[in-house]
Amino acid sequence: MPLSVVSLMAFFSYGKGRGYFALFLFSVLLGLGIGLFLHFFPLHYGACKIKGFVIMAKNNYFILSNGLTRVYVHEKGCIREVGDFLEIEGDLGKYQGTEYESRFSFASYLADIGVKGSLSIRNCHCLFQRPFRLRERELSFLSHFDSLTSGTIDSILFAHKDYANEMVAKASVVGCLGLLSGSGMVYGGLLRGIQKLFSYRFEEKKSSIITFFFAVMFLPFFLYKVGAYRVLTVRIMELFFLLRDKKKPDHLALICLSGLILLALDPYLVRNGGFLLGYGISIYMMVTKDLGCFYKKAVRRMISFLLLMIFLFPVFNVRGEWKLFAPFFSVLFLPIAYSYSFLAFVSFISVPFVRLLSAYSSALLQFLTFFEKIDLSLPLGSFPPWAIFLYYFALWLGIYLQQSGLVHFRRWINLIQIASLLIPSLPLGNAFLQEISFINVGQGDGILIRDGYTSVMIDTGGVLSFDMAKEVDIPFFRKEKVYHLDCLIASHGDYDHIGAKESLCQHFPVKRFVTDAAEFPLTIGKLTFTNYNVYGGEEENDNSLVLSLDFMGKTWLFTGDAGFNIENQIIRDYPSLNVDVLKLGHHGSKTSSSLAFLKRLSPEMCIISVGKNNRYGHPDSEVIHRLESMGIPYRRTDEEGTITYRRYFGLPLREL
C-alpha cells in the first residue's frame, strides 16, 4: 500500500520539487530491485561462520549483517550495541518462531528488513566493541524504577517495547503506540520545541546550530526509527545551506533528497511501511499546505489536521477495526509524549527522577485507561489492496485537479474516494459466500464455517500466555466481516480447543453453545453437522466429537482429538463413509489418523492444525509417513498460517 501511494505522488507531483521527487521514486524502484536481488542471493543453511556488524539490537535478539546477508540471532538478555563487529560460529536455518493469525508477524517483519535466516550461536567472538555502551547504561538507569515506569521509559525513550507492560498494552489498544515507542514524530517534535525555545534568544543560524547539537544527542535513542533519520537528514541539509548563506531548496525537494540518501544507505527501507508512509505524509502535507491559506491560523491548523486524518484514514483500520477516536487521542497524547521524553532524557543524563517519573507514569496510565473506556471502533473489515489504491488515487487526483483549477470534477472524485472504502466495508459479499477457515491458533483447533450470513465456529483455540479470543479469533472475525456466531461447538474440553470460550462469549455475540453429543445431528441455517463419535470413553480425547459436514460440494470431517479407538469403531460401523477433506485428529499425533482409518476414508486433502515447534512433536513423523506413503496431500497451519477454502455464487472452490 505505501508503495502505491508513493507512485501516485509521482504521477501527480508538481512544482520545483518535481525533479527531486522523480529521483526519489526512481530510488524507491531501484531499492526494490536491489532488495529482490539480495532476497534471491544464495544462502546456504547449516554449520557456518559469519563475520558482521550488529545493525540492530533488542532485549532478546540482534541482527547481524555482513553486507549481502542479514541474519537473526537470538540472545536472551542481549546487550549488544549497534556497531559491534562479531564473528559467530553456529548453525544457520530458517526462522522458526511461532506465528498466530491476526497477531504481529515477526517472521514478516524480519523479511521486510532483509533478514534471510536465523543463526544459533555455538561460539561468539567480539572482534570490535563499540566504546560507548549505551544499552548497559540504559539498563542500569531503568533498574531504579518500578516495572511500569521502567517499561514506559524503555519504550518511549529507548524504543524497546515490551507488550507485556501495561502501559504499552493500553497505548496499543487506543492507537497511541507510535507515540510511545520513540517515533520520528516525537524526535521531530522535540527538536522543533528546542529550536522554538532558543529562537527567542538567538538568531536563526545560532538556534539551528544549537538544535542540531541536541539532534545528535537525541539520535542514539531513536536509532531504529526511520522517521528520526528523515528529520535529521533534512535538518543537516537545511543547516548546510544556512551556514553557506545560500537559499535552501524547496522543503519538498529536501524531503525527497533525504529519502534518496536513506535509500542509498539501506535499500531495504523500500519495504519498510514506516519509511514510505512517513515520506508519504511529509510530501502530502507539503502539497496541501496552501489549500487553507486564505483562512486564519487556527482554521488553517484545523484544515491541516483534517487533511492529515483523511490521508491516514485507511491506516487507522487495524485488524479489521477502525478506531474512531485514535486521531484525537494521538493529538492529545502528543504533548504528553514530548514532555515525558524530555524529562526522561534529562533524568538519564543527570540523576534518576524516581518519584517524578513514577508519578508521571501513573498519571499517564490513568490517562490511557480513561481513553480505553471511551474508545469506540467500527468493524469495517480489512480493506483489500485495490480499495486502498483507489482511495489514494482519488485523493491525489482530487488535489491535482484542485491545483489545476478543474474543481468542477471534485465532487465525483470525492464520491469515488468514499465509495472505495465504504463498499468493501459492507458485508454485501457475505450473502453469496461459502467458506471454511482453519484458523492459525497455534497448538490447538479453531475452525470457522460460513454459509452466507450463517457463521459456526468449532473450537476456539486457547493458550495461557495471552487471550486467544481477543488477540486471534475476534480480530479474524472482524477482518472477515463476521459480526456474530450462530453457534459455537466445542469438540471436547481440552484447553487448546475451547480455552478461549469464556472470553469469546464475553466480547463477541455468540447465540448458542453446543458441547453435548446428544444434540447431534445439529442444523444451523442450511448447515447440518453429524457426530460419528457416539461411543465415548474414559479419557477426554475419547469423548471428542467427530463431526461431518456436507458443504461446498465436498464432505468434511472434523475429528477433534479422537484417537485410534474411536477411529476404528467409526470405520467399523460406517463402512461407506467417504471424506474429501479431513482435519487430522489430535494435531497429527501418532495416536490418531491410523493407516486403516486413512485408507477407508481416502481423503483428497488433510489439514493439520498445529503450532510451530510445539513441545509434543506434532505432527508426528509416523503420521506424515502414512500420508506420504498413500499419496495424500496435506496442509499445515504452522507452515501456511490460516488455511481457507472459499467460493462465491456456487463457483469452483478456491484454496487460500
pLDDT at 399 over 80: no
Q: Whole-prediction pTM value?
A: 0.81
Cβ-contact 258, 252 below 8 angstroms: no
Q: Are residues 436 and 448 in the same domain?
A: yes
Q: Are residues 29 and 121 in the same domain?
A: no
Average pLDDT over residues 291-314: 75
Half-sphere exposure in the Cβ direction for 113 (13 Å, CA): 20
Average pLDDT over residues 488-512: 93
Q: Are residues 344 and 440 in the same domain?
A: no
pLDDT confidence tier of residue 14, bands split at 50, 70 and 90: very low
Q: Which residues, 6 or more positions from 466, have their beta carbon under 8 angstroms from its beta carbon? A: none
Q: Are residues 348 and 406 in the same domain?
A: no
- What string of DSSP letters covers 445-507? --EEEEETTEEEEE-----SSS-HIIIIIHHHHHHTT---BSEEE-SSS-HHHHTTHHHHHHH
Q: Is residue 394 part of a domain?
A: yes
Q: How far apart are CA 353 and CA 336, in angstroms?
A: 17
Q: Are residues 518 and 650 in the same domain?
A: yes
Least confident of 179-193, 386-400, 536-550: 179-193
Q: Are residues 532 and 593 in the same domain?
A: yes
pLDDT confidence tier of residue 451, bands split at 50, 70 and 90: very high
Strand partners of residue 50: 88
Q: Are residues 15 and 50 in the same domain?
A: no
pLDDT confidence tier of residue 403, bands split at 50, 70 and 90: low
- Cα–Cα distances in Å, from 610 out to 83, 98, 108, 267, 574? 39, 10, 19, 36, 28
Average pLDDT over residues 83-99: 88
Supply the pLDDT for residue 180.
Answer: 56
Q: Is residue 144 part of a domain?
A: no
CB burial of residue 519 (10 Å; 0-12, 13-18, 19+): middle
Q: Are residues 509 and 638 in the same domain?
A: yes
**Joined grid coordinates for residue 200:** 527567542
pLDDT confidence tier of residue 557, bands split at 50, 70 and 90: very high
Q: Is residue 522 part of a domain?
A: yes
Cβ-contact 64, 71 below 8 angstroms: yes
pLDDT at 293 over 60: yes
Q: Is residue 416 part of a domain?
A: yes
Strand partners of residue 378: 322
Cβ-contact 537, 543 below 8 angstroms: yes
Half-sphere exposure in the Cβ direction for 231 (13 Å, CA): 23
For residues 356, 357, 362 and 363, what is the CA-based torsion angle, rounded to 10 degrees?
70
pLDDT at 7 over 70: no
Q: Which of 202-211, 295-304, 527-536, 537-546 has the highest mean pLDDT?
A: 527-536
Supply the pLDDT for residue 407.
Answer: 65
Q: How far apart are CA 107 and CA 386, in angstroms?
A: 25
Q: How many domains does the chain have?
A: 4
Q: Which pLDDT tens digit goes with each residue over 109-122? A: 888 888 888 999 99
Q: Are residues 592 and 520 in the same domain?
A: yes
Q: Is residue 40 part of a domain?
A: no
Give the residue among 512, 578, 572, 522 at the shortest CA–CA distance from 545: 522
Q: How far apart are CA 435 and CA 655, in angstroms?
A: 10
Per the structure, the complete domain to which residue 83 belongs is given by 46-131
Supply the pLDDT for residue 16.
Answer: 46
**Joined grid coordinates for residue 477:** 472475525
Q: Are residues 65 and 159 in the same domain?
A: no
